[in-house]
Structure 1
């Protein structure tokens, strides 16, 4: 099913404990990420009221936390790189649409990284807005 991802509704209780719902594809990604990435801290569903285009309230996005600002700690940067690399390597079979990490955004459509500008909503110069403290993963 590489590249063909029919729409899904959020029908499964978010396994990350947010109290919200995620899609079956997101739930499967969470399970796989926990198994393959040594159970990293993550949060998926969120109302994200400040961002009407976010995939979080649709149950199609997760933030995987790396334990600090990757710009300040090489081990934190390495952890985020491992998460991002695994996510990219498995995107074709897990339904990852894009990810944001360390000031860049990767798209499954193009298979390339580009600078991340915050989309007019986030400040890409700070740790959270620039995704230096977590890897954002959006799924189809």
Structure 2
């Protein structure tokens, strides 16, 4: 898969130097978020959203995430991508399609500014890429054994 192409509450700037970097912090200046009609997202995330929507993916980005004050969703730097129904394990075909998307997202992180991905009980982070996919423990907020908490029904994408 190929891809074209300081939030005020951010405490420390994040800079990633990669093939497409450096990725300097961006404000969530795109308002409203085109996936929810609320809040805002960064221009970097909007570029990714546009690509994903072109390929028919259903997304939800901005959310207050009051249960998780450290989430990238209210900062406009995260989207959830749903292959099927929320709370339901994806079908074999949906999982295969989503696995392909995740591989493309991972491979394009240096061009798109992806910081980390969570999918199907695992997490991958650019800064720990040498470790590959690791088990996802829910970050102390989510139940990793649940379908949604373990991200079995959606991909979480966070960008710099």
Query: Is this a same-fold pair by TM over 0.5?
Result: yes
- The structure 2 residue matched to 1:118, chosen from 121, 138, 146, is 138
Work out whether 1:27 is the aligned partner of 2:46: yes
Give structure 1 regions of 4+ aligned residues with deviation exceeding 6 angstroms. Answer: none
Partner residue in 2 for 1:39: 56
| 1:86 Cα offset (Å) | 1.6
Q: Greater strand percent: which structure? A: 1
- The structure 1 residue matched to 2:111, chosen from 78, 85, 93, is 93
TM-score, reference length from structure 2: 0.80
Work out whether 1:78 is the aligned partner of 2:96: yes
Q: Distance in 1 between matches of 2:94 and 2:145?
A: 17
CA offsets, 1:6-27, max 9 Å, x none?
0111000212133110011111
Q: Distance in 2 between matches of 1:105 and 1:64?
A: 15
**Unmatched 5+ stretches in structure 2:** 1-18
| 1:98 Cα offset (Å) | 0.1
- The structure 1 residue matched to 2:149, chosen from 95, 111, 129, is 129
- Stretch deviating more after TM superposition (22-31 or 61-70): 61-70
Question: What is the RMSD of the two structures over their aligned residues, measured on CA atoms?
Answer: 1.4
**Unmatched 5+ stretches in structure 1:** none
